[in-house]
């Protein structure tokens, strides 16, 4: 079986690869692709896989855009963190799904389901994708305009426009406002990444999501990475990871 993985988080794709090899060492992983743009290019220029694992949200957009632009004949298993309403849509449309973080038992069941129903998947995939997009209304995804934070016993609503960046410290997630106010969050950074508008915010590495308006200067850094000066200043260097540099430059350039 030849498998293509569309996933923009290294640890998620690495875990999936390891689990697939545990289930069947003969599975051939053709590539791991992080963006919609690169996925389209790869599929156009390579012989198709038997099965694709597709994260809904890739670093440059929604993966369902791929199926609007090119024809995909193989079966698809989505990986997702969407709510129960979305999960019901996947069930109705006979497209299998895995909730993150993926576990071995669920993955094994999905592989077995694929083997039983792969011909049906291939024949109905394009229509199923259209129905799924309409049900989830992913094209009109609404991002948070405010976040609720807690300071002691008091709750406070922070306008998203006032947030300079989000960061991890001591395994806790915080936001920093443009007025240099820091607040702890109940969300983790993966959840924040899904909640904020990607036109306004970019996840530069595993620890930091920055607002475009908070970036003062961009400096070349070791190993083809970038060093950012942010406003307000940060206590630690904020570095754009090597694998994110190309996408970051496109994001900054509009």
What tokens were used for 226?
């970038």
Question: pLDDT: is 26 or 59 the higher one?
Answer: 26
pLDDT at residue 163 tops 80? yes
What is residue 132's predicted lDDT score, i.e. its pLDDT? 67
Residue 32 C-alpha from the chain's centroid: 13
Question: pLDDT class for 128, splitting at 50, 70, 90?
Answer: low
pLDDT at residue 211 tops 50? yes
Q: Domains of the chain, with CATH numbers?
A: 2-140 (3.40.50.2300), 146-253 (2.40.50.1020)
Question: Cβ(127)–Cβ(135) under 8 Å?
Answer: no
Question: Cβ(202)–Cβ(186) under 8 Å?
Answer: no
Instruction: Name beta bridge partners: 167.
Output: 174, 208
pLDDT at residue 3 tops 70? yes
What is residue 85's predicted lDDT score, i.e. its pLDDT? 46
What is residue 91's predicted lDDT score, i.e. its pLDDT? 56
What is residue 95's predicted lDDT score, i.e. its pLDDT? 65
CA torsion 226-229-230-232 (nearest 10°) is 150
Separation CA 43–CA 63 (nearest Å): 13
Provide mean pLDDT across the span 77-95: 61
Least confident residue range of 19-23, 56-60, 141-145, 235-239: 141-145
What is residue 121's predicted lDDT score, i.e. its pLDDT? 59
What is residue 190's predicted lDDT score, i.e. its pLDDT? 86
Least confident residue range of 118-122, 171-175, 233-237, 248-252: 118-122
pLDDT at residue 94 tops 60? no
Question: Cβ(165)–Cβ(176) under 8 Å?
Answer: yes
pLDDT by residue (tens digit) across 35-70? Answer: 999 999 999 999 889 899 998 888 777 888 888 788
Which residue has 């999960």 as its token pair?
Answer: 87
Question: pLDDT: is 84 or 254 the higher one?
Answer: 254
End-to-end CA distance of the chain: 39
What tokens were used for 22?
């545990």
Name the pairing type of β-strands 225-230 and 215-221. antiparallel
Question: Cβ(35)–Cβ(60) under 8 Å?
Answer: yes
pLDDT by residue (tens digit) across 141-161? Answer: 568 889 989 888 888 899 999
Q: Which alpha helices (H) appear in the chain, and where do they start and end? A: 10-23, 36-45, 65-69, 84-92, 104-136, 189-195, 245-253
Provide mean pLDDT across the span 174-199: 91
What is residue 67's predicted lDDT score, i.e. its pLDDT? 80
- Give backbone dihedrals phi and psi of 5, rounded to 5 degrees, phi first: -115, 125
Question: Cβ(228)–Cβ(239) under 8 Å?
Answer: yes
pLDDT at residue 134 tops 70? no
The three-class DSSP label of residue 160 is helix
pTM of the model: 0.56
């Amino acid at each position: 079986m030849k498998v293509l993985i569309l996933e923009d988080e290294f640890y998620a794709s690495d875990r999936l690869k390891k689990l697939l090899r545990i289930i069947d060492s003969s599975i051939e992983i053709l590539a791991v692709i992080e963006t919609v743009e690169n996925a389209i290019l790869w599929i156009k220029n390579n012989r198709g896989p038997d099965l694709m694992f597709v994260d809904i949200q890739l670093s440059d957009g929604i993966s369902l855009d791929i199926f609007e632009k090119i024809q995909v004949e193989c079966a698809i298993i989505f990986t997702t963190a969407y709510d129960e309403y979305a999960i019901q849509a996947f069930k109705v449309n006979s497209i299998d799904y895995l909730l993150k973080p993926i576990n071995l038992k669920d993955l094994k069941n999905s592989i077995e389901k694929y083997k039983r129903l792969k011909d049906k998947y291939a024949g109905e995939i394009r229509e199923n994708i259209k129905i799924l997009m309409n049900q989830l209304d992913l094209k009109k995804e609404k991002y948070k305009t405010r976040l609720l934070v807690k300071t002691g016993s008091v709750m406070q609503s922070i306008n998203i426009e006032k947030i300079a960046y989000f960061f991890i410290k001591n395994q806790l997630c915080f936001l920093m406002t443009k007025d240099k106010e820091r607040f702890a969050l109940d969300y983790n950074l993966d959840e924040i990444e899904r909640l904020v508008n990607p036109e306004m915010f970019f996840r530069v590495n595993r620890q930091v999501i920055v607002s475009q308006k908070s970036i003062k200067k961009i400096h070349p850094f070791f190993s083809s990475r970038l060093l950012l000066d942010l406003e307000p200043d940060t206590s630690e260097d904020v570095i754009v990871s090597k694998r994110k540099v190309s996408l970051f430059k496109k994001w900054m350039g509009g």
